[in-house]
Amino acid sequence: MFSLQGKKAVVTGGGSGIGKAIALILAKQGAEVHVIELNEAQAQSTLDEINDNGNNGFSYACDVSDQQAVIKTFDQIGSLDILVNNAGIAHVGKADTTQEADFDRVMNVNVKGVYNCLFAAIPKLRLAGGGAIINMASIASLVGLPDRFVYSAAKGAVKAMTMSVAKDYINENIRCNSISPARVHTPFVDGFLAKNYPDQIPEMFEKLSKTQPIGRMGKPEEIGALALFLCSDEASFITGCDYPIDGGFTTLNN
């Protein structure tokens, strides 16, 4: 089950965290994985791990907010079966504390970046006779989170784009779903704590962990496992759906 033998997959933001976990599990299940990442060193690190495990991967340094660069990269990759739109950035701020430059930066990566990859990838999926798209949304698209104004707006747009793509391409054998994680323990979380709470890291880590009713943060590998399922032929009857993976946050946190 869940074999991706003979499939070609693209994972954006695959150099660390959730994106890296997804890239590794897709490769483990037999896919040829193409990692698109702004940070070339991080992309190479993921690629090395893929290849060291005897799997097949390639990496590309690319800014997903630059449409021409994205098109050029996808033209190098050619026909593909799976697209995982994972690249994204975070921002802390309310509507009246988010500066215009920060608003534009988040929207350019988290919304325009997803659009750019859809624009470039859908013709390549057609070449393969269809395929699967996963967009990384967030529980921020489902519930109100404090101090996450533009991030929530961007992830809400990602969720809406997912539904639109699922509707528009259902007759071309292209499925599109989104995943909405709660807090996941990634290098971003460690960096956030080190920067903002250098003298309280253990206490703040525990506090952030307990915002999920299940009592801990998610693991990148758990998001990867859900992505693998949605990419696989076993999920061929699933399209136009959003999957919260949140330790009970959206339904039990009241």
Separation of alpha carbons 50 and 33, rounded Å:
8
Cβ contact 137:155 at 8 Å:
yes
Q: State the DSSP H helix or E strand holding residue 45, giving kind and residue range, or none if neither.
A: helix 40-52
Beta pairing partners, 9: 33, 82
Separation of alpha carbons 139 and 123, rounded Å:
30
User: What are the two backbone dihedrals, phi and then psi, of residue 236, each rounded to the nearest 5 degrees?
Assistant: -65, -15
Q: Helix crossing, 201-209 with 187-196: angle to 10°?
A: 130
Separation of alpha carbons 88 and 193, rounded Å:
19
Question: Residue 67 CB: number of other CB atoms within 10 A?
Answer: 16
Q: What is the DSSP string of 144-200?
A: --TTBHHHHHHHHHHHHHHHHHHHHTGGGTEEEEEEEE--B--HHHHHHHHHH-TT-
Q: Which of 60, 151, 169, 243 is catalytic?
A: 151
User: What are the two backbone dihedrals, phi and then psi, of residue 66, each rounded to the nearest 5 degrees?
Assistant: -100, 100
Look up 197 and say whether it is catalytic: no
Separation of alpha carbons 150 and 159, rounded Å:
14
Beta pairing partners, 58: 34
Active site residues: 151
